[in-house]
Chains A and B, each alone.
Chain A
Amino acid sequence: QAGLTQPPSVSKGLRQTATLTCTGNSNNVGNQGAAWLQQHQGHPPKLLSYRNNNRPSGISERFSASRSGNTASLTITGLQPEDEADYYCSAWDSSLSALVFGTGTKVTVL
Chain B
Amino acid sequence: QVQLQESGPGLVKPSQTLSLTCTVSGGSISSGSYYWSWIRQPAGKGLEWIGRIYTSGSTNYNPSLKSRVTISVDTSKNQFSLKLSSVTAADTAVYYCARAKSSTMDCWGQGTLVTVSS
Contact = CB atoms under 8 A, between A and B. Distances in A.
Contacts of A10: none
A96 interface: yes
A90 B46 contact: no
Interface stretch (A12-20, A72-80, A99-107): A99-107
B104 A101 contact: no
A100 B106 contact: no
A47 B105 contact: yes
Contacts of A99: 37, 49, 52, 60, 103
A84 B103 CA distance: 25
How many of chain A's residues touch chain B, expressed as a range? 20 to 34
A47 B104 contact: yes
A36 B106 CA distance: 10
Nearest to A98: B62
Nearest to B4: A44
Contacts of A88: 46-47
Contacts of B110: 44
Contacts of B96: 44-45
Interface SS of chain A:
strand
Contacts, number: 58
How many of chain B's residues touch chain A, expressed as a range? 20 to 34
Interface in A11-65: 32, 35, 37, 44-47, 50-51, 56
A45 B104 CA distance: 12
Contacts of B64: 1
Interface string B40-61: 0000001111001000000011
Contacts of A35: 103-105
A91 B47 CA distance: 13
B118 interface: no
Contacts of A45: 47, 96, 105, 108
Contact of A90 (B61, B105, B108): B105
Contacts of B104: 35, 47, 50-51, 90
Interface of A: 1, 3, 32, 35, 37, 44-47, 50-51, 56, 88, 90-92, 96-104
